[in-house]
Every structure is written in C-alpha cells, then in structure tokens.
Amino acid sequence: MTATLFEEDIAPVRPIEDEEPAWFGSACVWGEAVSQGSKKGFLHPKLKRVVIVDANDKALKSWRQELIKAMRRVRPERPLDRPIAMHILIYVSRPSAHLRKDGEVKPNAPRLPGSGKDVDKVCRAIFDAGEIAGWYQNDARIVDLRVRRRYHSGLGERTWIWAWTLDRADQPRPELLEEEMEATAPPDPIAPPKRKSGREDYVDPDLDY
C-alpha cells in the first residue's frame, strides 16, 4: 500500500461541470474581400511629419466594419481566451475573359483563381475584426487556420468565416450544412437572383477542393 504524506501529492482533477462550453460562430460579408497590410505615407500638413496609413484605408475600414457587425451577432458571452480554429472561404468573380457571350464559363477556363489579393493580408483584416467583435481576446489564440479562395457561380463576391473552440489536435471539424449557410447569410441587396439550375456555391468541409 502506498501512503500519501501530503494532500499536495494528489494531482487535482478538474470537475467536468467546470469545463468551458464549446463555442462555434460564423459570419458572412458580401462584396470584394479587402486586404490589410500594404502601407503608404504622406506629409501631414498640421503635424509636419510623415504619417503611415493603410494604402486602401477607406475600403478597408468599410469592409472590416461590415465584417465586425456580422461577427458581433454571434459573439460569445465574453472574448475567448482559449485555442481557436478558423476556416475562411473567399468567393471572387471570374474575369470576363473566362466567359462566353452567353455568360457560361468557357471549357478551358481555370477552375481555381490562381491570382488576386494576398490571402494572408485578407486574413489580417479578418483577424483584427474578430478581436474587435469580441470573438477572442487576441488573434494569437488562432492555432488552426484554413483559407480557400474560389470562384463564385452567380451569387456574388463574399467572404465566409467559421470559427470554433479547439480543445485537442484531433478534434473533428464541425459541419455547416447548405441550408444553414442560406439561413445565416445576410441579405445582399445587389446580389443577382439565384439560378434555378446549375451548381450551388456550397462547399463540403469534408472534401478537398
């Protein structure tokens, strides 16, 4: 029999009821995704010194503010201070050169957008928006990240962000069904009507595209 001399020798066990509940949030913002990171400088007439600002300051602030509004609708009770996983899906428009006169995609057109805004700079704007919206205390909490850029098929340019708490490395990724995507997407006043035929923009998270 092994004797325990001190209570401190017994490893504390965290009660299950004290564990923080899992959290999952999603947000969608319409329009072209805006990058953050490129800078420019100008001589401020009153300060008499060079001021450094984002090169696309007006577009960035407008797009990021719309994203913050969408994120705040599903923010947790308080900013999370635990590991976070994030999945970002950016839909972009095809160049007109990819389309035939009837609007259909040419057979030899690329299936994936191999050029465009740097996705890492788009992520910077999203990370900051998540922190401002109260999803997490600091974007350093994001430990797992997946980013994809795809051509949209008629619904318009938009950016989807999913985030959830991550408790272990082998934790399965949550699924977001197509009907849930339609239900949670904010209305786009300028989006073209959805086509009755043809492929939808649903992306199965379990498949590699």
Structure confidence by residue, pLDDT tens digits, 39-74: 545 455 666 554 444 445 677 888 999 999 999 999
CB contact burial 12-25 (16+ within 10 A = b; e otherwise): eeeeeeeeeeebeb
Which residues have CB under 8 Å from 209's CB, separation 6+? 148, 150, 203
Domains, the chain, in order of start with CATH, read: 23-184 (3.30.1330.70)
Among the ranges 9-13, 28-32, 199-203, which has the highest mean pLDDT value? 28-32
User: In Å, how far are 39, 51, 62 from 162, measured between CA atoms?
Assistant: 28, 35, 21
What is the CA angle 164-166-170, rounded to 5? Answer: 125
Higher pLDDT, 82 or 193: 82
Beta pairing class for 84-92 and 158-165: antiparallel
> Phi/psi zone of residue 111: left (φ > 0), alpha (ψ -120 to 50 degrees), beta?
alpha
pLDDT tens for residues 75-132?
999 999 999 999 999 999 888 888 888 878 888 888 888 777 788 899 999 999 999 9
Is pLDDT of 172 > 80?
Answer: yes
37: left (phi over 0), alpha (psi -120 to 50) or beta: left
In this predicted structure, the answer to whether residue 171 has a pLDDT above a threshold of 70 is yes
The two structure tokens encoding residue 192: 């073209």
What pLDDT does 68 receive? Answer: 94
**For residue 153, what are the contacts with CB-CB under 8 A and spacing of at least 6?**
195, 198, 199, 200, 201
Average pLDDT over residues 164-178: 80
Specify the range with the lowest mean pLDDT, choosing from 107-111, 171-175, 188-192: 188-192
The gap between the terminal CA atoms of the chain, to the nearest Å, is 59
pLDDT bucket at 179, cuts 50 / 70 / 90: very low
Q: Is the pLDDT of residue 142 over 70?
A: yes
Residue 143, classed as helix, strand or coil, is strand
Q: What distance in Å separates the CA atoms of residue 152 and residue 157, rounded to the nearest whole number? A: 7
For residue 95, what pLDDT is reported? 82
